């Protein structure tokens, strides 16, 4: 029997998994908000937004009870769920660069999967993964999170992203809005930068306040992004 190739062996790499589930993609992404997608939620995050009161607490930590799942198994589960688009999220997926993430993205890409990856802005996505990742959705942290200091330098981030990727800001208050607006205005003067989205933080920011400020300030390069899964399933019951 022939030995396993280096690539096959790589697919035995294991990633800490919270859940795999089909849903609608409630965030901005290149395939369009509301597109059916199979979510792979990995465990483990290097940040603690809002003092750990983040909206995906199940993805924060890897514990001894967190299942470690091989890339082969992850791909098989996505295929069994009839996935055509996959959203890799967390936690922070880019923590697993060199530890199986590239192998997973390559394996999904080779099956013709459209892939978006949601990432927290602290790690610049590597250029080598561009052929497999259709859309990076980078959640650049605003002051209310307490994690702006952990963000990768903005210039490095915008240089690494394409015009089809997203730089997203979740806005909880007026200070967050002023912070995000300043970046949006600066980015608006540079051709080829990623698309920019502002999301109202659920429970904290009235959507109308944010929309009206975007209109008042004529932020023509900003896309208003209501995280529609939080409207459809406000208690998170859409995740199965
Ligand atoms: S980056 Fe995301 S998962 Fe990590 S603490 Fe912040 S909101 Fe939670």
Please check whether residue 202 is in contact with residue 192, taking contact to mean a CB–CB distance below 8 angstroms.
no
Provide the residue range defining the domain that includes 215.
Answer: 6-232
List C-alpha distances in Å: 40 to 6, 133, 180.
24, 14, 28
Share of the chain above pLDDT 90, in %: 79
Using CA atoms, how far apart are residues 69 and 195, in angstroms rounded to an integer? Answer: 33
Per-residue pLDDT at 150? 98
Asked if the model's pLDDT at residue 2 lies above 60, the reply is no
Asked if the model's pLDDT at residue 153 lies above 80, the reply is yes
Using CA atoms, how far apart are residues 137 and 139, in angstroms rounded to an integer? Answer: 6
Please check whether residue 113 is in contact with residue 85, taking contact to mean a CB–CB distance below 8 angstroms.
yes
The per-residue pLDDT for range 77-135, each reduced to its tens digit, is 999 998 899 999 999 999 999 999 999 999 999 999 999 999 999 999 999 999 999 99
Q: Is residue 87 situated within a structural domain?
A: yes
3-state secondary structure of 59: helix
- Structurally, the chain folds into a number of domains equal to 1
Using CA atoms, how far apart are residues 158 and 195, in angstroms rounded to an integer? Answer: 10
Q: Is residue 239 situated within a structural domain?
A: no
Q: Is residue 206 situated within a structural domain?
A: yes
Which residue did the predictor score with more confidence, 239 or 150? Answer: 150
- For residue 117, the domain's CATH number is 3.20.20.70
Q: Is residue 237 situated within a structural domain?
A: no
Q: Is residue 161 situated within a structural domain?
A: yes
The per-residue pLDDT for range 177-202, each reduced to its tens digit, is 999 999 999 987 777 789 999 999 98
Asked if the model's pLDDT at residue 236 lies above 90, the reply is no
Q: Which residue in 25, 22, 24, 27 sits closest to 38, CA to CA? A: 22
Per-residue pLDDT at 225? 95
**Whether the predicted model's global pTM rises above the 0.75 cut:** yes
Per-residue pLDDT at 234? 82
Using CA atoms, how far apart are residues 49 and 6, in angstroms rounded to an integer? Answer: 38
Q: Is residue 1 situated within a structural domain?
A: no
Q: Is residue 95 situated within a structural domain?
A: yes
Q: Is residue 240 situated within a structural domain?
A: no
Q: Which residues lie with the beta carbon below 6 Å from any ligand 1 atom?
A: 45, 47-49, 54-56, 59-60, 90-92, 120
The torsion angle over the Cα atoms of residues 152, 155, 160 and 166, rounded to 10 degrees, is: 80
Per-residue pLDDT at 1? 38
Nearest CA to ligand 1 atom 7: 54
DSSP state of 149: G
56 CA distance to ligand 1 centroid (A)? 7
């Amino acid at each position: 029997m022939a030995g396993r190739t280096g690539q096959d062996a790589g697919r035995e790499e294991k990633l800490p998994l919270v859940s795999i589930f089909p849903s609608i993609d409630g965030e901005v992404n290149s395939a369009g908000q509301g597109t059916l997608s199979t979510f792979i939620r990995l465990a483990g995050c290097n940040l603690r937004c809002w003092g750990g009161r983040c909206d995906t607490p199940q993805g924060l930590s890897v514990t001894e009870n967190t299942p470690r799942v091989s890339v082969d198994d992850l791909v098989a589960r996505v295929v069994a769920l009839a996935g055509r688009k996959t959203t890799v999220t967390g936690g922070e997926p880019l923590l697993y660069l060199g530890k199986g993430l590239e192998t997973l993205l390559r394996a999904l890409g080779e099956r013709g999967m459209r892939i978006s990856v949601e990432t927290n802005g602290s790690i610049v996505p590597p250029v080598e993964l561009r052929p497999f990742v259709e859309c990076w959705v980078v959640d650049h942290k605003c002051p209310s999170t307490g994690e702006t200091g952990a963000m990768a330098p903005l210039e490095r981030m915008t240089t690494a992203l394409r015009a089809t990727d997203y730089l997203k800001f979740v806005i909880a208050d007026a200070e967050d809005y002023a912070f995000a607006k300043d970046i949006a205005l600066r980015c608006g003067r540079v051709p080829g930068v990623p698309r920019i989205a502002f999301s109202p933080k659920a429970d904290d920011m009235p959507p109308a306040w944010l929309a009206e400020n975007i209109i008042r300030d004529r932020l023509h390069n900003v896309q208003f992004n209501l995280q529609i899964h939080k409207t459809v399933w406000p208690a998170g019951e859409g995740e199965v």
